[in-house]
Structure 1
């Protein structure tokens, strides 16, 4: 009865929301039409007069636009864009901007002009007194879009800046000081984390949050929402046991280790543990001597060997391991795995170990986005993620109609019995299309497959250009020519590439020939783990009413099926070339993809449940830290708790030095206790699955342990601060923290973590049972 009531409630809510959205859409269309009535008058104004007209819309109170003011603003934006960018926005682009200005996520098809719509909305927010961050998906797009749209911003008297992962603090501060700042979403998060480690107000980089406008919103807000952004501080030089790397390299799947269905975790079997123990000189991995040191190191080395693949999960370039961001098909520069795993991969590749560190602070992308008072976004595939956007962010999705109807022909999937047969068919299809001169864009899941496909095409004398994490710096030029006559482009992950593919090449010279051939032909070598990424790839063809086509190839023994539909029946109707003609084959592929989407949603939900409490604790601690950083709170509190010491130091060095010394001591211990608290929470999560054995709720037990621990954190930080204030030598130069062993990290770096840190209750329970039984044996 309860489930039925919930479904009815959900249906009723969607019905009301739909009617409300319809009324809202009608009003916004009227506003866009009203904008057209200003057009002739505005064309007669000089640039200076246009800027003055925009200035009259400026407010400092963040007030919403009235319909009349919004219509005038849109008209100004259209005329300004025509003059500065030589772009005349379509009505649908202005309509999109109105939805963004109301804090919604808009779905716009590829090639419909999201970049300009986003810039118009950002200007609209800035004129109303908001600080705006446009969250891009990579460095290239952040800089490109800020520079491209710059003339339009300047005409409106709105400042714009950009930040990339290589930007220095001296470059970041003025960029953030502008009205609008373009930056990769990860950099926004890392700057927030880094600001929580500074000890002087002058060292702060990021401003108070206002509006965040998220590009590729579904990718950022859903696919990457669970990804922890982690800031670490250096401790000492790293070390990795190459002997362990050599030992685990000899272990055999099925005999010595097993992986879970999702290939997220790997476990030693009894035979595997015995093999490792023999290789390490007859030790007992589960003895008190080794269970807390050697066993974890073996597990991490096994993870690096089995679950992380070169040219799929990481590259080796310039003598270093560089991570690949799977969601974007790019190298995740300046990022790394947590230390044990990073060192294990370095040992696996026989590379020198990098410095090790400890986690100073973490924040998920979801918590980062919820840090902003107002959120909006745009993408080509938002509707498929509308439930998640509503449930996790309270965001509605508005579908913007295309300026021109889409005439792309999307063929049904071609399913093959084996990966080998599928690969042969893919190569044959590319070669056949290329022989006619039709441009082909091929989407592959990873670097390794893109390069293997390129090698097979070379054997057939089919030239191609490869775009993957190894050469993503050249992506704009590569994509711009992907629609040229005879072009074959092989790419990993097209979502967020950000450059339109024009038929006939960048200059459109061969457009007519390409149109006659059917336009750009998109070929997917496999389905992605979510249909939204498939649609992103398809959407590269058929832009602005252009002709085009797409087809996806799949196999019954491919990773999607074997991982997410392992019990699927074997095909019974298979042609000589391996093509499966069973009616149920496509259903199996669809089913496997839905299971993959559900699995990722569960991971997102699990992460959200556990991180809610930590996010609240981070907020409380952040308020405390900000007060210590910006005021004389530390000195006043120490005056109450240590009046004699306070009076003596005040007399010896003066008020200013005393306040600074008290601040430095208090911030050091607060940060130190927070880092220790995060480490405790990580350990707690690792063992929380054991509560499921007694049918207790792991999340309830997590809260039961974490809440009192956090309360003790604040008291412990105060106790340590008082103790250090009494002992640390304070001179005219300040507190000599280093001499007292109170050292801050001399370097920081960021982690990239893609994992399910909690798993399902059943997974955790069974894993715990296995460990208990093994320990008993």
Structure 2
């Protein structure tokens, strides 16, 4: 009570914070009259003046008022748009590294130019992150005109760009791109063997558009770069056939976690059927020999029972294409992991592509936390403010609207079943359509979109359906959703980021109708005609009540509902919003209390009858809050597990960078050799043990395998006062002698390149294997909970031990390759320009469920070796064995029968030398 009274008297903390920014806005406004008199050249010269001030010791905050005023004046001249005062407030919030919550239609794209320009003046680079490629291209071209006018250069990152073009884009003052592109480029950079191949430069400042979508919705799943493993198509098909015949009584579904578990009877039954099908190595389902079959059986069960065609995926061109649950877009090139995608392919009878192994991964949380300064903007962030602060230390600031919102948000209407609900929706749409009021309908799946489309066809209502089957046109369709009598069905807010203007969007209509017309008086006249028509149409729409937003179902998150509502009532326009619900909706069916809804509604409602109640709406909101809290815990769990890997990732990536930057790495290689010899001797001759207890045979075998030395170990040990330290020193001396003798005729610079290349290649190989081990560990560590242990603590402990083992193995491997491979000098190859790194299979995969959550495909679906042939490096293979098509060791003239220097374990003539 007292809190409410205080808020009414003094305003909320958010209101007070925004009020403190008004002084800065007043200073910006005071400069406007002065800048109006500047010529274009004088205005453009402001950028150079600001840079001089920064060099002289001024801070960005010192030049903020003048810089913002400069952007405002430039925007008036270049874009014909003047920043409102509330947009200035938003720009200050972005510059301070906070989240600006601004309602739809308040001009967030224009707001971003303020903080972007100010922070780009330093020349350290600013990244503007968008949710899809269309918006990245659009904003880079649209706002790039403003930045270009002020002397800044703009780059844009889109899928399938050549590496050289990417480097140029990242070198620009301002770089636009999607979250996936930025993240995958970071991972690819840390898989390259030459600093000159890397595209990113040091992180500085990022502004994330639609920050809730990117940092909350998509952050449930990490970015993953993977490569192919062996083909197991026959196994997937056989398991699919067994699972499809399994009766429902043998398993239990958990729709909340989208998981399926066999019952006790189900385990016995499936065991019998798998034995009959010849799929088990032993008669016990859970013997260690059957681990792989059990894993793929679980995935086949999930694919058949839980994943639905046209909701979770579609079949297009004989391929299973994932549908993003948040945007409804197709994600070509994206694949579920852990064999789930292959299970769905087997289910649908399409070609089964091989599984893939993780080569690099990172969560969005850990990626974006690398930026020294991070900010974001969206229309809906307040409901997730706690998570933004806990994970990213980002404060959410609600920016006032320029004009007060006029939209009317009506109570939800409840119906008994889906057919009643959709019949009522179709009737409501027809009524609005008859008076010319435009309607935007939000659905949760392709299936629901098409069902509603059928109802509207029966009512004779002309409409446009926007879902994953036609996302290429989504911006153009959504942009015209405010025209008189328009009815647009959109799946989960497809077309987000596109402004819906009453009467129609002038830019899109001009592009659609006059795109092929040449610039000139005729086109100018046509544009003037369209503008006049839009103005007249806008008046008719205003008289009809503005845009009517209709939700066919409540989403798990209140934010998604608010996004839909926010499409109506932009810039003080009138509008209306209403949600239609029924007992068969997923939210009510899965998360709602059965007795609360089912008993009351089934007993009291007639077919086709609706009920509206604030009490029911409140109950729905409570259910949504519970789901939001649960989803937050899931995202938090992803971060907790990735934090463990992130510490190790930083060590590996920093080590790689140091190796790439170093002119010589002989000291690193020498330390590795010393550590490897110490580990061998310590394992065979434990401290405090007697010589007769030592594993002399094992040590001798290890010395021969790793160092390639045949030493009189027995004679050494029989000597008086022999100590393990003495054995180590002798082995170290002999190994150094052997290495010196091998490279005596090889030019020093060539040998330095060999050392560096082998070191990087072996590091990457073992890191990849380590990631695969951690993936497997994460899949099973939850079972430790049955032993009353915390899975995350167990994971941390195990991961640390595995990392130490990986480093030991790496030291031994590098030592082995350098000492056992044979090198002979030959003429060095002529210098060649560095080639582009091959494309990888990229995904955005849930590490616990295997589900893909990318809202924006990057088109990078080709599979290729981890490293291509690098011209400046004698070594550049994966070390996976088998014949290669190029020989990076040709200039070293390696002996044909020697082990291949790549470390594959094969002879040179059967590996890289096979190309000769």
Q: State if a TM-score over 0.5 links the two structures.
A: yes
Instruction: Name the CA distance, whole Å, in 1 between partners of 2:334 and 2:368.
Output: 20
Give the gaps of 5 or more residues in structure 2: 507-533, 674-734, 830-836, 852-916
The count of corresponding residues between Structure 1 and Structure 2 is: 736
Shift of 1:398: 1.3
- Find the counterpart in structure 2 of residue 433 from structure 1: 432
Q: Secondary structure at the match of 1:336?
A: coil
Instruction: Name the CA distance, whole Å, in 2 between partners of 1:651 and 1:544.
Output: 77
Q: Secondary structure at the match of 1:653?
A: coil
Instruction: Name the CA distance, whole Å, in 1 between partners of 2:439 and 2:372.
Output: 43
- Find the counterpart in structure 2 of residue 689 from structure 1: 782
Q: 1:54 aligns with which of 32, 47, 50?
A: 47
Q: 2:796 aligns with which of 703, 706, 727?
A: 703
Q: Would the aligned equivalents of 2:416 and 2:607 in 1 still touch at CA under 8 Å?
A: no
Q: How does the TM-score come out when normalised to structure 1?
A: 0.89
- Find the counterpart in structure 1 of residue 842 from structure 2: 750
1:677 paired to 2:773: no
Q: Would the aligned equivalents of 1:230 and 1:752 in 2 still touch at CA under 8 Å?
A: yes
- Find the counterpart in structure 1 of residue 19 from structure 2: 26
Instruction: Name the CA distance, whole Å, in 2 between partners of 1:698 and 1:355.
Output: 30
Q: Would the aligned equivalents of 1:519 and 1:542 in 2 still touch at CA under 8 Å?
A: yes
Instruction: Name the CA distance, whole Å, in 2 between partners of 1:755 and 1:577.
Output: 44
Q: Would the aligned equivalents of 1:96 and 1:400 in 2 still touch at CA under 8 Å?
A: yes
Where in structure 2 are the equivalents of 1:304-703 lying within 5 Å?
A: 304-338=303-337, 340-494=339-493, 497-507=496-506, 508-509=534-535, 510-569=537-596, 570-572=598-600, 573-580=604-611, 584-632=615-663, 634-639=665-670, 641=673, 643-648=736-741, 650-703=743-796
Shift of 1:581: 5.2
Deviates more, 1:645-654 or 1:715-724: 645-654
1:188 paired to 2:219: no
Instruction: Name the CA distance, whole Å, in 2 between partners of 1:504 and 1:709.
Output: 62
User: Structure 1 residues 706, 289: closer, same or farther in 2, change over 3 A?
Assistant: closer
Instruction: Name the CA distance, whole Å, in 2 between partners of 1:730 and 1:26.
Output: 72
CA deviation string 1:490-512 (max 9, x = no partner)? 00122762111011112424101
Q: Would the aligned equivalents of 1:433 and 1:440 in 2 still touch at CA under 8 Å?
A: yes
Instruction: Name the CA distance, whole Å, in 1 between partners of 2:343 and 2:391.
Output: 35
Instruction: Name the CA distance, whole Å, in 1 between partners of 2:41 and 2:408.
Output: 47
Q: 1:136 aligns with which of 117, 121, 130?
A: 130
CA deviation string 1:435-469 (max 9, x = no partner)? 22111000011222212222221222212111112
Instruction: Name the CA distance, whole Å, in 2 between partners of 1:61 and 1:612.
Output: 37
Shift of 1:275: 4.3
CA deviation string 1:530-553 (max 9, x = no partner)? 101111110000000001110011
Instruction: Name the CA distance, whole Å, in 1 between partners of 2:210 and 2:68.
Output: 23
Q: Secondary structure at the match of 1:663?
A: helix
Instruction: Name the CA distance, whole Å, in 1 between partners of 2:324 and 2:202.
Output: 28
- Find the counterpart in structure 2 of residue 246 from structure 1: 241
Shift of 1:755: 6.5
Instruction: Name the CA distance, whole Å, in 2 between partners of 1:385 and 1:734.
Output: 63
Where in structure 2 are the equivalents of 1:290-301 lying within 5 Å?
A: 291-301=290-300
Instruction: Name the CA distance, whole Å, in 1 between partners of 2:828 and 2:205.
Output: 39
Where in structure 2 are the equivalents of 1:91-170 lying within 5 Å?
A: 91-170=85-164
- Find the counterpart in structure 2 of residue 43 from structure 1: 36
Q: Would the aligned equivalents of 2:227 and 2:841 in 1 still touch at CA under 8 Å?
A: yes
Q: Secondary structure at the match of 1:207?
A: coil
Q: Secondary structure at the match of 1:503?
A: coil
Give the gaps of 5 or more residues in structure 1: 1-10, 737-744, 760-777
- Find the counterpart in structure 1 of residue 509 from structure 2: none
Shift of 1:682: 2.2
CA deviation string 1:204-240 (max 9, x = no partner)? 1222211111111122112222311011023455635
Q: 1:223 aligns with which of 212, 217, 226?
A: 217
Q: Secondary structure at the match of 2:499?
A: coil
Q: Would the aligned equivalents of 2:411 and 2:614 in 1 still touch at CA under 8 Å?
A: no
Instruction: Name the CA distance, whole Å, in 2 between partners of 1:433 and 1:717.
Output: 69
1:233 paired to 2:233: no
Instruction: Name the CA distance, whole Å, in 1 between partners of 2:400 and 2:57.
Output: 28
CA deviation string 1:635-694 (max 9, x = no partner)? 332256353354345433322322222222212222222222222222222222232223
User: Structure 1 residues 582, 483: closer, same or farther in 2, change over 3 A?
Assistant: closer
User: Structure 1 residues 63, 538: closer, same or farther in 2, change over 3 A?
Assistant: farther
Shift of 1:706: 1.5
Shift of 1:31: 1.4
Q: How does the TM-score come out when normalised to structure 2?
A: 0.76
Q: Would the aligned equivalents of 1:673 and 1:717 in 2 still touch at CA under 8 Å?
A: yes
Q: Would the aligned equivalents of 1:565 and 1:591 in 2 still touch at CA under 8 Å?
A: no
Instruction: Name the CA distance, whole Å, in 2 between partners of 1:434 and 1:285.
Output: 64
Shift of 1:622: 1.1
Instruction: Name the CA distance, whole Å, in 2 between partners of 1:734 and 1:266.
Output: 62
Instruction: Name the CA distance, whole Å, in 2 between partners of 1:19 and 1:493.
Output: 32
Instruction: Name the CA distance, whole Å, in 1 between partners of 2:613 and 2:376.
Output: 41
